[in-house]
Amino acid sequence: MTKYTDILKKEISTYLLTDNIFFHYKGRVSLYAILKSMGVGKDDEVIIPAYTCVVVPNPIIYLGAKPVYVEIDKASLCMDLSQLEKAITKKTKVIICQNTYGLSANVDEIVKIAKSQNLYTIEDCTHGFGGNYKGKPNGSYCDAAFYSMQWNKPFSSGVGGFMTVNNPVLLDSIIKQEPEKHEISFGTKINLKLLFFVKRYLLNKTTYWIMVNFYRWLSKNNLITGSSSGEEITDIIIPDKFFMNYSEVQAKEAVRNIKKLPELLELRKQNASVYSTFLKSKNKCYVDEKLFNNHAFLKYPVFVKDREEFFNYARKHKIELGDWFNSPIHPVQCNFGKWFINPEEFPIALEASKHVINIPTDTKNPERVISFLEKYIDEIK
Ligand SMILES: Cc1ncc(COP(=O)(O)O)c(C=O)c1O
């Protein structure tokens, strides 16, 4: 019988135009494997944007290296190129660029800088699968790229990740790591199946906020297979059996969902365009269409005056708002020193984390979102 992971690999390769695809339990595990294949270790530095998820600096720290953060650009919410070269030192080994919310990461420019200094590059495509940058699929420019199949990602298998390898020098090491992957337990498989059922049949606009909050609470307390376990948010110690394999249970769900992707990508792009037109007409911050022409518009960021209040309005009107990123290293809110970052040094990333909310791009009814925004237009920056 053909394995679901083989079917999935074939589907993914039609988007990414490569067969060098390797699966892991989560995207962060793929990142760990890539860093390892690049020989990242003690005393090395890895450059990352100062507006990301904590699970990005974590694998760098697990390997004994240090994450070095670079301020972001307010228009694209990706790394500010003008700040990048200042962050490069003799210890720098890798630059990770990220297509935040599916937006452009200026990846060609970053690769040019990296090559001139003999550095490796990794593209964090966890938000950008299915999008293109200057005519090539996201993930094509760097030495390697990693992707996520977590709940809110372009296509999902509950949790899940994979990587593509463009630099053949890394392949040997990646292949050697394959047998080291732990297999997921029977309990986790059952847990995932249960979550797929809940998502498919019980999650809707009425239950959204209750479900999301309940899931996060269960996940934070390690009571369910969650996006991040408690220790990944509170500490920098590698969780037990972190280097985990992807499973057939996940692949089956992913195959089901990737088939819906072309339609979804189109819908996201159309909605993003509707939102930009509306916000522009109201003289508010909006995403310039030239930034997302060919991108997987996973989220649409809106700058609001008071984030918490805005979430209260959204709950009242049953609007499914996203909260990425609520911190320069989402969702960490304290003890930033553990992750080698002082958020005060990155005012734009800090402002974004205090004021950005995400409006849904996968809705068939963007008018409902627009009329919600219209109602609270004075609360939008
Ligand atoms: C920017 C970014 N990078 C990496 C990841 C990690 O992906 P995963 O949850 O599959 O490990 C996330 C997760 O949301 C993310 O937002």
Contact (Cβ atoms closer than 8 angstroms) between residue 304 and residue 353: no
| pLDDT, tens digit (0-9, with 9 covering 90-100), for 159-173 | 999 999 999 999 999
Residues belonging to the chain? 381
Centre a 10 Å sphere on the Cβ of residue 71 and count the other Cβ atoms it contains.
Answer: 22
CATH value of 261-379 in 3.40.50.720, 3.90.1150.10, 3.30.1050.10, 3.10.200.10: 3.90.1150.10
Q: What pLDDT is recorded for position 195? A: 87
Please tell me if the CB atom of residue 157 comes closer than 6 angstroms to any atom of ligand 1.
no
- Which amino acid type is present at position 234? T
Question: Is residue 53 in contact with ligand 1, taking CB distance under 6 Å?
Answer: yes
To the nearest 10°, the Cα dihedral for 364, 367, 368, 372? 140
More confident: 3 or 105: 3
pLDDT of residue 227: 66
**Of the residues 30, 34, 55, which should be mutated to test ligand 1's pocket, given the most ligand atoms within 8 Å of the CB?**
55
Q: Torsions phi, psi of 265, nearest 5?
A: -60, -40
* Beta carbon of 227 within 6 Å of any ligand 1 atom: yes
Q: What ranges do the domains of the chain cover?
A: 261-379
Model confidence pLDDT, tens digit, residues 282-304: 999 999 887 767 888 899 999 99
Query: What pLDDT does residue 288 have?
Result: 87
- Of all atoms in ligand 1, which is nearest to the CA of residue 325? 16
ω before 331 within 30° of 0 (cis)? yes
Quick one: how many helices (H) and strands (E) in the chain? Answer: 15, 13
What atom in ligand 1 is closest to the CA of residue 146? 4
pLDDT of 197? 86
- The DSSP call for residue 72 is B
Cα of 52 vs centre of ligand 1, distance in Å, is: 8
Average pLDDT of 258-282? 95
Query: With 80 as the cut, is the pLDDT of residue 27 above it?
Result: yes
Q: How far apart are the first and last CA of the chain?
A: 55
**Residue closest by Cα to atom 8 of ligand 1:** 27
* DSSP characters over 264-325: HHHHHHHHHHHHHHHHHHTT-----HHHHTTS----EEEEBS-HHHHHHHHHHHT---B---
* Residue 94, CA distances (Å) to 21, 26, 251, 346 in order: 20, 21, 30, 20
Q: Is there an atom of ligand 1 within 6 Å of 98 CB? A: yes
Mean pLDDT score, 210-218: 79
